Amino acid sequence: MPKLTAEIQLRTSPHLHTPRSVEMIMRHVVYAMLPLCAFGIYVFGISVVALLAVAVAACLATEHLCCHLAGRASSINDWSAVITGILLALTLPPGFPLWMTAVGGFVSIALGKMLFGGLGMNVFNPALVGRAFLQASFPVAITGYTPALSASRFTEFIPTTLTFPFLQPPSLTAWITAARVDSFAGATALMQQKFDRVTVELLPLFLGYESGSAGETSAILILLCGAYLAARKFLDWRIPVAMLGSAALAGQAFHLLNPAVYPNGAFVLGSGGLMLGAVFMATDMVSSPTTPLGVWIYGALMGLITVIIRFLGGLPEGVMYSILLGNAVAPLIDNITQPAIYGARKKAKVTA
């Protein structure tokens, strides 16, 4: 928003104004994510500090570079690149190699945002574009999960964090054994469920003292942060409600059909990145629909796709792809759910 000057401004009506600006909204989203960062650091240690710092730095540097190359004013002050960086870091395993994180940050901003024309033009959530790139490029490293609450987490980095650029991260098996965390299978709750049919207890799952990506583990904390944003009207509460609701319902339906294979709806809600995705990524103002009905369809569609990928697909987690698919169809949803204009006649058969 341009700064108001002391001069008299000639404007057409309406003369109402709002103190909200892009920069202010983005800043509040960052505030809402800080508790998640703090919790991630508490559970997984200093590796998450490095992860967050590198991701944010890479995003800011890429944004500045792209603006410079495009010959326009740098847009790093609007906080949106910071959000992308934090979100990207929160979706990665805590010990993810830092050089790969930097690559992810670069791809997020350069490919996911600036090539489309910058903030407000991107079709997909930039952080998820970066993560999808990392998942396709480094499928082994991105599943290298480490146990939560290891004793030495504040004194040493997870060995994979400091991998030399362009080299493979070392194997984590020995380090995990040495860390001696009870009953850690080297897998997230979702992986255990999918590959070993072991369903973990629900309470630690919702509290977040479990293995997983850096910021996705605590479902309750994410919900609280989301509630703050929804109360301040910085995000559309319908999207997470629709997405979580449809995921829980679909999961429960599968569970009732075959309880031996599929976990129940509560497990679906608490595990993996569903909460983080539903609250902070699906609600991205740029890449989600704008019509009241469209928002419900969009959320429900993503929840359903998440469960389908988790239960019927080859991967343990499907939130990332479901949100990217939701982003892809968002303009179509907008198109078919345009509200009727008050007083207007029925739409003519041939429309644009």
Cβ neighbours of residue 179 under 8 Å, at least 6 residues apart? Answer: 146, 147, 150, 151, 152
Residue reference for tokens 């002050």: 77
CB of 86 to another protein, least distance (A): 24
CB of 137 to another protein, least distance (A): 4
Cβ neighbours of residue 333 under 8 Å, at least 6 residues apart? Answer: 289, 291, 294, 297, 298, 301
CB of 141 to another protein, least distance (A): 7
Residue 136 or 341 having the CB closest to another protein: 136
Residue 167 binding another protein, by CB under 8 A: yes
Residue 133 or 298 having the CB closest to another protein: 133
Residue 342 binding another protein, by CB under 8 A: no
Concatenating the DSSP letter of every residue in 232-255 gives TTSS-THHHHHHHHHHHHHHHHHH
Residue 350 binding another protein, by CB under 8 A: no
**Neighbour-count burial of 146, counting CB atoms closer than 10 A to its CB (0-12 exposed, 13-18 middle, 19+ buried):** buried
Closest CA to 287 of 129, 133, 130: 129
Of the ranges 50-58, 165-173, 191-199, 292-300, which one interacts with another protein (CB under 8 A)? 165-173
Q: Among residues 45, 94, 126, 169, which is the contact residue for another protein, using CB under 8 A?
A: 169
Of the ranges 167-175, 248-256, 277-285, 316-324, which one interacts with another protein (CB under 8 A)? 167-175
Residue 168 binding another protein, by CB under 8 A: yes
CB of 91 to another protein, least distance (A): 17
Q: Which residue type occupies 142?
A: I
- What would the two tokens of residue 159 be? 């060995």
Q: Using CB under 8 A, count the residues that bind another protein.
A: 12
- Report d(CA 85, CA 102) in Å as an integer: 10
Cβ neighbours of residue 315 under 8 Å, at least 6 residues apart? Answer: 309, 321
Please say whether the beta carbons of 61 and 104 come within 8 A. Answer: no
How wide is the angle at C-alpha 136 spanned by C-alphas 60 and 50, nearest 5°? Answer: 40
The contacts found for 139-142 with CB under 8 angstroms, 24 or more apart, are 141/93, 141/96, 141/97, 141/100, 141/168, 141/169, 142/92, 142/93, 142/96
Residue 8 binding another protein, by CB under 8 A: no
Task: Tell me the per-residue interface mask from 133 to 162 with another protein, x by CB under 8 A, - otherwise.
Answer: x--xxxx-x---------------------
Number of neighbours of residue 137 by Cβ within 10 angstroms:
13
Q: Among residues 73, 166, 346, 352, which is the contact residue for another protein, using CB under 8 A?
A: 166
CB of 168 to another protein, least distance (A): 4
* Interface of this chain with another protein, residues 75 to 114, rule: CB under 8 A: 100
CB of 192 to another protein, least distance (A): 25
CB of 110 to another protein, least distance (A): 11
Residue 6 or 167 having the CB closest to another protein: 167
CB of 169 to another protein, least distance (A): 8
- Contact residues toward another protein (CB under 8 A) are 100, 133, 136-139, 141, 163, 166-169
